[in-house]
Amino acid sequence: MIDSLVTSQVATKDAIRMLLNAAFSSGRPFALWRKPKSNVLELVLDAEEKIRKVGMEIEELPAGFIIHPFEDQEDKKAYFIKASEYFSLDLSLEPQEIDFPDWVKNQPPSKGPLEQFLTNNNQSTEERKVNVSVGSSKAHFLELVEQSISWIKAGKLEKVVPARTKTIPLSSNFDLVQSIWELMNSYPNSFVNFFHLPEVATWLGASPETLIETKGDEFYTMSLAGTQKAQGDNPLKSAAWTQKEIEEQALVSRYIVDCFKKIRLREYDEHGPKTVLAGDLLHLRSDFRVNMKSTNFPQLGSVMLGLLHPTSAVCGMPRKEAHEFLKEHEGFERCFFAGFIGPVNIKESTAIYVNLRTASFGDGEITLYAGAGVTEDSDPEKEWEETEMKCRIIGKFFQSEES
């Protein structure tokens, strides 16, 4: 039985390798993902090498994968990978049961394109190096948290979410397929994703936070905040939350409700907060659901996308003031970290996630990103420790020991 399971895992990883080889060989944008609590790996590949950008009216978009940075763009558009080719892989299938499309079958089952990508990655620019240097400084982050607390005590902000980076070298035996496989197995409740925009960016992550989801007439979003390490045999029952963490999560929930009020939406279901597990970490989460048909709001997805991003969980409150504070004091470019990503209009469903627990590829290195919610009661050293925990979630899949 064990030998059979091992053989099946090897075969499944070989199937993922075939998909990635074919996608990289095409030279075109593509995205690979597995939704939370799903056993299906999905991939979209664009027919064009040119990078597409689209507006935010998601109901009008063709099937594809949307990628939006943390910052709003001047053209008010997002990157988009059109699903010119779409393939879904049931991870429970035996290898002989997998029916690959021709564009995958015609590629040799080698590591060639993957190795070429990892050894010839063109994402390491001088701008990136400067960005990484500022973002990875502990002294800078501690000072940023102190500034955040001062602004909150002065009544200028209620909460702010400063971020930082951590750059580590790729291990000499790094295997992208193995990393994706381990992420899927380690974080079944997260959105595991890998996307490649040639000449722009390549990222890998496992996000625990849904921004918006629409399926049929149902709309869903969540408020996720508060972080602690999962401990003991039953961490969900033994978790104890501080007043600071409870208030932090309540602020995020209140912001969602305020967005509903802005559009005069009164009919919604709210459940929570409850403790949820995301890998080795625990968070507080509340769920919000709306029936778009009964509320006569078929474009609620697009409307809430515009109102929610960037959420108070990754930016702060009030949103405008928190965003301006971060832009002035954070000192580095977040790029796609804390932006949003996800499949759009695939199988009559859209699922967009906040791009958290994520890393970008550089030349022989990867950069991890993490933020921490700061309130009046925050302690700078503890906020640094929280970002270290979040970096480890992804960082441990790139090398055996972080440096």
Interior CA angle at 108 toward 119 and 201, to 5°? 35
Distance CA 55, CA 165 (A): 29
Distance CA 286, CA 335 (A): 27
In which band, very low, low, confident or very high, does the pLDDT at 129 lie, cut at 50, 70 and 90? low
pTM for the structure as a whole: 0.92
* pLDDT of 195 above 90: yes
Phi, psi of 270 (to 5 degrees): -120, 130
Q: What is the model's pLDDT at position 135?
A: 73
Strand spans (E) along 115-200: 159-160, 163-169, 191-197
Closest C-alpha to 223, from 246, 244, 242: 246
* pLDDT of 1 above 50: no
In which band, very low, low, confident or very high, does the pLDDT at 126 lie, cut at 50, 70 and 90? low
Domain locations in the chain as residue ranges: 2-119, 126-165+209-395
- Asked if 80 and 52 touch (Cβ cutoff 8 Å), the reply is yes
* pLDDT of 113 above 80: no
Q: What is the model's pLDDT at position 401?
A: 45
Closest C-alpha to 256, from 298, 326, 303: 303
Distance CA 181, CA 178 (A): 5
Higher pLDDT among residues 125 and 137, named by residue = 137
Closest C-alpha to 31, from 401, 303, 343: 343
Higher pLDDT among residues 355 and 99, named by residue = 355
C-alpha distance from residue 110 to each of 24, 94, 113, 116, 280 (Å):
12, 20, 8, 11, 34
Phi, psi of 150 (to 5 degrees): -60, -45
Mean pLDDT of 36-40: 94
Strand partners of residue 78: 54
Q: What is the model's pLDDT at position 369?
A: 96
Distance linking the first and last C-alpha atoms of the chain: 38
Closest C-alpha to 41, from 109, 100, 106, 111: 100
How many Å is the Cα radius of gyration of the chain?
Answer: 21
State the average pLDDT for the chain. 89
Question: 88-97 pLDDT, tens per residue?
Answer: 999 887 767 7
Distance of CA 113 to the CA centre of its chain: 25
Topology annotation, domain 126-165+209-395? Anthranilate synthase (3.60.120)
Coil/strand/helix, residue 94? coil
What is the sign, positive or negative, of the torsion defined by CA atoms of 313, 351, 164, 273?
A: positive
* pLDDT of 99 above 50: yes
Q: What is the model's pLDDT at position 3?
A: 43
Distance CA 95, CA 172 (A): 29
- Asked if 51 and 81 touch (Cβ cutoff 8 Å), the reply is no
Say what percent of the chain tops pLDDT 90: 67
Distance CA 401, CA 395 (A): 9
Say what percent of the chain tops pLDDT 70: 89
* pLDDT of 292 above 90: yes
Distance CA 371, CA 390 (A): 8
* pLDDT of 400 above 60: no
